[in-house]
Amino acid sequence: MKALQLTAWQQGPELVDVPEPEPGPGEVVIKVGGAGACHSDLHVMEWPPGLLDWKLPFTLGHETAGWVHAIGSGVDGLREGDAVLVYGPWGDGRCRTCRLGSENYCEHASELGAAGGGLGRDGGMAEYMLVPRARWLVPIGDLDPVEAAPLADAGLTPYHAIKRSLHLLGPGSTVVVIGVGGLGHAAIQLVKALSPARVVAVDLAEAKLDLARRLGADLALPSDDEAVGTIRGYTGGRGAEVVLDLVGSDPTLALGAKVASVNGHLTVVGLGGGRLEFSFFALPYECSVATTYWGSVTELMEVVELARLGKLVIQTHRFPLSEATAAYQRMREGSLEGRAVIVP
Ligand code: NAD
Ligand code: ZN
């Protein structure tokens, strides 16, 4: 079968022929419906050798949905043809954090040699994907796997980031979403589905700001020097209770620090490599800064429920496997609205 693999560090992926996987005990093979292309894949392709202790090659695609195709011995509760979404961060399943469902924060993550399928182990940008543990499959019912695939990361990651701050999001509160890409366009909808907070969206591209307005953002602003003053004015000088930085570059971190409120949360999700200088006066009093990484499997189930209710609709653009490189190029240029999904 064809698979889009990362074969060397700091290079684009290659479409190669690999054997079709067969499930061993406890494993499941799914027929891939779609695999989302995430900006993290671009970072992984760009980072130097040695930064990640993953072995090459592996198949890309860590947002994958499809249908159960073959079931290994000892797996129960699944039937051939079931539509499923693959939970992405693969922990050891044994530590306390994993048992609470948060395999994204597995206590033994550094010993596993990979972060999950598509991130060190074979992912979904192929005709079939081997899922080594049945617990990583979440049923999606009647959702279309192509539309559902990005829920695994573009949906789950902002969902987790918003949920941890939900106690701050009462009436009259504000969330600033920096970066209206795959994650950001989901974040806007998720804030609206979960809270009465107002949403201010910030991006460089006018088309993304239009998308943000269509998805319910109360205000959409270019990412420039005027954004700080506008957001401070919009919030009556108070600032935003929650800032979700889905870019993580020097300018977006600086913007986030200037628009967050006293007692606020500045949550950094983007891996843009920026730095935030810290001193007593760097942030409003009692404003916390945190990074978040992905989310728990039970949160993924909740994200699926929101999608089934129509409260989270991922804007998808389909690309065949042979054009995956073009999808990544469009993402690099910032000319994709929503999420590219590779459909083998
Ligand atoms: P994307 O390419 O779909 O979207 C990025 C958006 O940011 C684009 O709309 C772009 O125009 C905008 N942008 C770029 N520079 C900007 C700036 N200075 N100000 C405002 N907007 C700006 O990317 P994505 O797939 O949504 O991923 C976003 C980031 O989140 C990436 O760095 C990715 O690696 C990271 N990520 C982190 C996690 C995690 O668990 N922490 C999970 C998934 C993705
Ligand atoms: Zn664990």
Atom of ligand 1 nearest to the CA of 251: 18
Shared domain check, 146 and 166: no
Ligand lying nearest the CA atom of residue 102: 2
CA of 135 to the centre of ligand 2 (A): 13
pTM across the whole model: 0.98
Q: Give the CA count within 13 Å in the CB-facing half-sphere of 344.
A: 27
pLDDT, mean over the chain: 97
The C-alpha angle with vertex 238 and arms to 175 and 198, in degrees rounded to 5, equals 25
Do residue 162 and residue 85 come from a single domain?
Answer: no
Q: pLDDT per residue over 38-57, tens digit each? A: 999 999 999 999 999 999 99
Based on the fold, state whether residues 318 and 230 are members of the same structural domain.
no
pLDDT tens per residue across span 64-73: 999 999 999 9
Cα of 306 to ligand 1 centre, how many Å?
22
Q: Are residues 134 and 203 in the same domain?
A: no
Are both 110 and 191 inside the same structural domain? no
As a whole number of angstroms, the distance between CA 196 and CA 165 comes to 13
Residues 297-326 have a mean pLDDT of: 98
Structural domain boundaries, residue 169: 156-291
Backbone phi and psi for residue 244, each to the nearest 5 degrees, phi listed first = -105, 110
Q: Is the CB of 203 under 6 A from ligand 1?
A: yes
Say how many domains are in the chain: 2
Q: What does the pLDDT look like over 78-136, one tens digit per residue?
A: 999 999 999 999 999 999 999 999 999 999 999 999 999 999 999 999 999 999 999 99
The pLDDT score that the predictor gives to residue 284 is 97
Decide whether any atom of ligand 1 lies within 6 Å of the 269 Cβ: yes
Query: Strand 64-71 to strand 28-36: parallel, antiparallel, or no bridges (unpaired)?
Result: antiparallel
Same domain, 148 and 164: no
Angle (nearest 5°) at CA 298 between 295 and 304:
90
Residues 6+ apart with CB under 8 A from 326: 319
What is the domain-level CATH number for residue 300? 3.90.180.10
Q: Which amino acid is at 336?
A: L
Q: How high is the pLDDT of residue 90?
A: 98
With a pLDDT cut of 70, the percent of the chain lying above it is 100
- Residue located nearest, by CA, to atom 40 of ligand 1: 293
Count the alpha carbons within 13 Å of 308 in the hemisphere toward its beta carbon: 11
Query: What CATH number should be reported for the domain holding residue 196?
Result: 3.40.50.720
Complete edge-to-edge strand list for the sheet that includes strand 14-17: 14-17, 2-6, 58-59
Please indicate, yes or no, whether residues 178 and 308 belong to a single structural domain of this protein: no
Determine whether the shortest distance from the Cβ of 204 to ligand 1 is under 6 A.
Answer: yes
A 10 A CB-CB count for 66 gives: 29
Find the mean pLDDT for residues 22-40.
98
Last residue of a domain, one of 291, 308, 324: 291
**Ligand 1 pocket member 181 (CB < 6 A):** yes
Are 234 and 190 in a shared domain? yes
pLDDT of residue 228: 98
Residue 225 has pLDDT above 90, yes or no: no
Nearest CA to ligand 1 atom 12: 179
> What's the CA-to-centroid distance between 246 and ligand 1, angstroms?
5
Whether 313 shows a pLDDT value over 90: the answer reads yes
Cα-Cα-Cα-Cα dihedral sign, residues 49, 51, 54, 57? negative
> Are residues 229 and 299 both part of a single domain?
no
17 and 128 part of one domain: yes
pLDDT reading at 23 higher than 90: yes
Whether pLDDT at 213 is above 90: yes
Q: Are residues 208 and 322 in the same domain?
A: no
Query: Where does a domain end: 271, 291, 311?
Result: 291
